[in-house]
Amino acid sequence: MATKDDIITLIQAVADATGVDAMRVSLGAPGNHVEIGGSSRETGAGWSPEPKPFPIVIEGLAQFLDGQGVGSARFNHIQQLSSSGVIAASTDLAELTAAGITASLPATGAVANGTQIVVKNQGFGGNFLNVDGGGNIDAGPVLGVPGIFDAVRVYKSGGQWWTW
């Protein structure tokens, strides 16, 4: 089962990648909920003494964010990189857990158009993105990952990756 810190990290990655500035999340009794712009919704079944399983909380959060037009919190495959390497084509969220990492996005031929990956800097500087086997991100060969604890979302369109 994921910890509260895991859930908060995931929520922060979604907020960073979508540009949501005013999102408040409560994880605990009397219930888990998320609020955006004054609209609030519980993210899991009613409160009970037991912690909510991670998938229930995230699914509730995903439904709420989808309804707000924010995007999805459904990260089915999370990959942690502690050294330079290739991000798997199935990855939804790549977490960079050290400094000086060059994370390589999958080659554009290995993923479908519209594929999106969130890359989250877990508190370290000097991290970069490139494309496995060569290619561009926003018309350049290398992209610096934003500052400490920031995230960038990339999507594949045509023969290259783009940020947004």
Kindly tell me if the per-residue pLDDT of 1 is higher than 50.
no
At 47, is the pLDDT very low, low, confident or very high (cuts 50, 70, 90)? very low
What pLDDT does 15 receive?
63
Residues paired with 162 in a beta bridge: 155
What pLDDT does 110 receive?
92
How many Cα atoms sit within 13 Å of 75 on the Cβ side?
26
Kindly tell me if the per-residue pLDDT of 57 is higher than 90.
no
Question: What CA–CA distances, in Å, run from 119 to 10, 13, 34, 97?
Answer: 11, 8, 23, 11
**Exposure class string for 3-28: b at 16+ Cβ within 10 A, else e:** eeeebebbbbbbbbbbebeebebebe
Dump pLDDT digits (tens) for 75-98.
678 899 999 999 999 998 899 999
Spatial distance between the Cα atoms of 30 and 61, rounded to a whole number of angstroms: 16
Kindly tell me if the per-residue pLDDT of 19 is higher than 90.
no
Dump pLDDT digits (tens) for 112-155.
988 899 999 888 889 999 999 989 999 899 999 887 888 888 99
* DSSP 8-state class, residue 114: T
Positive or negative torsion for Cα 60, 122, 144, 104:
negative
Greater model confidence, 56 or 141 = 141
Average pLDDT, the chain: 75
Q: Under a CB-based contact definition with an 8 Å cutoff, are residues 96 and 70 in contact?
A: no
Three-state DSSP at 63 gives helix
Domain ranges of the chain: 4-67, 78-163
How many Cα atoms sit within 13 Å of 84 on the Cβ side?
11
Rounded mean pLDDT, 1-25:
59
